[in-house]
Chains A and B, each alone.
Chain A
Amino acid sequence: MATHAADAHHDDHDHKPQGFWDRWVFTTNHKDIGTLYLVFAFIMFCIGGAMSGVIRAELAQPGLQFVQPYFFNQMTTVHALVMIFGGVMPAFVGLANWMVPLMIGAPDMALPRMNNWSFWIMPFAFTVLLLTLFLPGGAPAGGWTLYPPLSLQGGSSVAFAIFAIHMMGISSIMGAINIIATILNMRAPGMDLLRMPLFVWTWLITAFLLIAVMPVLAGAVTMLLTDKFFGTSFFNAAGGGDPVMFQHIFWFFGHPEVYIMILPAFGIVSEIIPTFSRKPLFGYQAMVYATASIAFLSFIVWAHHMFTVGMPLGGELFFMYATMMIAVPTGVKVFNWVSTMWKGSMTFETPMLWAIAFVILFTIGGFSGLMLAMVPADFQYHDTYFVVAHFHYVLVTGALFSIIAAVYFWWPKWTGKMYSEKWGKFHFWWSTFFVNVLFFPQHFLGLAGMPRRIPDYNVAFADWNLVSSIGAFGMLASPIIMFAVLWHSKKHGAPATTQVWEGAHGLEWTVPSPAPHHTFTEPPVIRASMLAHGDVTH
């Protein structure tokens, strides 16, 4: 081991393990594990995307053309679970794996073996989940929110789905522990907390959220399991329980979960915008505190998903006010991004385009979120396509766009190859056009009264649904285009420089491209000039 470390330091020779098994299955290397996570997430995005294709195909016209309603419900449920737990979360963990050690000057993740385990549980968890599609009775069909009693009516899928969720939870918790330990313990000397890149900060807080709420989800689904198989009455009023209790526990997890899917996105965008504005991030410290406030608030707003369950008036008011408050720290972030661009010297390479689209479209999603927070109006919006539009804006043009931006941004560092700007931009304009065709009309559908989770609808809804489906089929090409761009870059891309982007600052841009298999085996000395945001402590 010592020899490895020494060599890596003297020349760029990589010492990657050679065989497939050693390189990918038994690996403890944060970069390889990061790659594994990203590849896995990409595959899951495609599977989840295919399911959304089934959904949108059936919804393109009134009447049932392709699938039975029950199968439609399975598609909705599994689409969401795959996208959230298989797509967005692993993609962010993959980015953290790759970038956090590079950004803080650590030789690897704090607990490298556990890192491998966190990853390899995921494909198996999803094998369990996706297997249920082929069981008699099919996959879970009660919505990704798994509300009892409906979710307990599923056949043999219930136990499988619950255990799959347990496995995802174990993986996420171990992944999060690793990230926290890495950030708190592995920073190079001089990399003080308030000098860390914002991506690292957002992940630190995200990891905390994960450790706090994934066990709560595990508890909630365990109670589902015992209600179904062991005769408990947690969610059964006849036995003194309450179906609504599940919703409280679920959303105590579920709301922080949605911020788990957006905070790292904030971090990514806070790296990209300064780079292409050639100007330090505006309001670094405010960004850190805003992230922390959002995380704190996320624990006290959960019941805004449950305004129609018949909560007492005081509860409705409390959760409405608390939810509205989140607009304030989130606004701080948006304003800071705009101020970072202000008086910069901007160029619009592909990652910057995705980041700018993120700021605009996420904000639109945030606006509809704020509208949903108003209880009297939510009595109308709830469980309609207005909600579907809201969360796809924050999830797809929010979380997913940031992931794509990040991949373009760091790809040259990972592979040492530039991608084709022309085709990267094509990918961007294609996806941004179709994603809006796909999701913007869903606001109209919701306001006109179309409930969510239905396979068929009144003819008055037909027109906008067709538009939305056309957008969906355009959007489904997005991963294919991206794959082609990246494949082409891998094969024929121009070599990348160490700094890659003219405006790039930060430790990760001081190591060669591609980043050697081992980096920072001895801690670097941090100088303010290496920091993306300059020295903020003055």
Chain B
Amino acid sequence: MATAQGKNVYYVPHGSKWPAVGTIGLFTTMIGAANWLNEHSWGKPMFYVGVAVLLYMMWGWFGEVIRESIKGMYNHQVDTSFRMGMMWFIFSEIMFFAAFFGALFYARMLSVPWLGGEGDGALTNFYLWQDYAPAWPTNGPSAIGGAFETIPAWGIPLLNTLILLTSGVTITIAHHALRAGHRKQLLVFLGLTVVLGAIFLYYQAHEYIEAYQHMNLTLGSGVYGSTFFMLTGFHGLHVTLGTIMLAVIWFRCLAGHFDKDHHFGFEAVAWYWHFVDVVWLGLFMFVYVL
């Protein structure tokens, strides 16, 4: 269609039902989640219905975009819009993690020492928490959640670091393969990346189970537990999403959707994966090692 006007016309879709579907999905999810938290029995099913609608929306929306893309309706400028969209989305994700890293640094560098009487906290310690000595990890002066152990950095976390770093390499190899037109190499290395993501998740789950069952380390373990699980948890969620995205891209590679110069979908997922990787390095440093 767009070809009639030549490649110079920026493709503007005319109407789409997917955003409306997405809105209903999001609304249902949120209302469901809120009711679930407020212990209404229908909250949980409603939440899942909402998520299902959102998945349906993604399927349909991305499907439409893919079809349009294959038909050649997108010129270079449209491609640039997609790229910018993805880059700024990742930036927003970075800022989301920044809030939680900020909380971690604030707790470690300011609130815990102050509660323990350092710096400006002398009086706080004297009047309220006299027996509390600052340390990290901590569950605070009231030892909320009871004594806990922490996960040593040099076991599974190190392994997971290596896994993610490797996956960063494999996806780059896959990208080169795509650009060079080596289809088989592409599928193998992209497939490897998916597998590495899944292994990472497996270990992460294992670690959580350990923490909850044997180390008494939970979300409720004071500020250490809070920052630990929220940071690693949101990261884990992103790895899950990333792995699913990688898997989808793998199938799209199999279906031959991408060619040498036209594979924004692949690149977007690759960027996302690198972002997840870098966040993990931050986590490994500041949550596990230091």
Q: Contact residues of A with B, CB < 8 Å?
A: 1-6, 17, 22, 25-28, 106-108, 110-114, 116-117, 120-121, 124, 127-128, 156, 159-160, 162-164, 166-167, 170, 173, 176-178, 180-182, 184-186, 211-216, 218-220, 222-223, 225-227, 229-234, 236-242, 244-245, 248-249, 252, 310, 312, 518, 521-523
Contact = CB atoms under 8 A, between A and B. Distances in A.
Which of A231, A234, A239, A252 has its CB near the most chain B CB atoms (within 10 A)?
Answer: A239
A184 B87 CA distance: 13
A245 B106 contact: yes
Interface of B: 1-5, 8-20, 22-23, 26-27, 30-31, 33-34, 37-38, 61, 73, 77, 80-82, 84-85, 88-89, 91-93, 95-100, 102-103, 106-107, 110-112, 114-115, 119-120, 128-129, 138-142, 144-145, 218-220, 222-227, 229-230
B120 A216 contact: no
A240 B139 contact: yes
B22 A117 contact: yes
A233 B144 contact: yes
B103 A181 contact: no
A213 to B, nearest CB: 7
A447 B15 CA distance: 55
Contact of A219 (B5, B100, B220, B229): B100
A318 to B, nearest CB: 14
Nearest to A132: B34
Contacts of A177: 84-85, 88-89, 92
A240 B224 contact: yes
B216 to A, nearest CB: 13
A120 B93 CA distance: 22
Contacts of A166: 30
A407 B235 CA distance: 44
Contacts of B5: 2, 5-6, 522
A26 B12 contact: no
Nearest to B86: A177
B141 A240 contact: yes
Contact of B111 (A116, A181, A237, A249): A237
B184 to A, nearest CB: 34
A1 B139 contact: no
A227 B85 CA distance: 33
20 contacts: A108-B10, A110-B85, A121-B23, A163-B31, A173-B89, A177-B92, A213-B95, A215-B92, A216-B99, A216-B102, A219-B97, A223-B230, A226-B219, A232-B229, A233-B144, A236-B144, A239-B140, A239-B226, A249-B102, A521-B9
Nearest to B57: A117
A162 B107 CA distance: 23
A177 B81 CA distance: 10
Contacts of B111: 237, 240-242, 244-245
A229 B5 CA distance: 56
A234 B19 contact: no
Contact of B144 (A184, A239, A242, A312): A239
Given A28-B13, A231-B145, A117 B140 contact: no
B25 to A, nearest CB: 10
A231 B219 contact: yes
A20 B103 CA distance: 47
B207 to A, nearest CB: 18
Given A156-B38, A181-B84, A220-B99, A112 B12 contact: yes
A111 B14 CA distance: 12
B12 A248 contact: no
Given A107-B10, A107-B12, A215-B99, A238 B144 contact: yes
B33, B95, B139, B142, most chain A CB atoms within 10 A: B95
B141 A237 contact: yes
Nearest to A2: B4
A13 B96 CA distance: 45
B200 to A, nearest CB: 23
In the complex, the 9 A-B pairs of residues with the closest C-beta atoms, listed nearest first: A219-B99, A240-B140, A117-B19, A231-B220, A232-B226, A240-B223, A238-B142, A215-B96, A242-B111
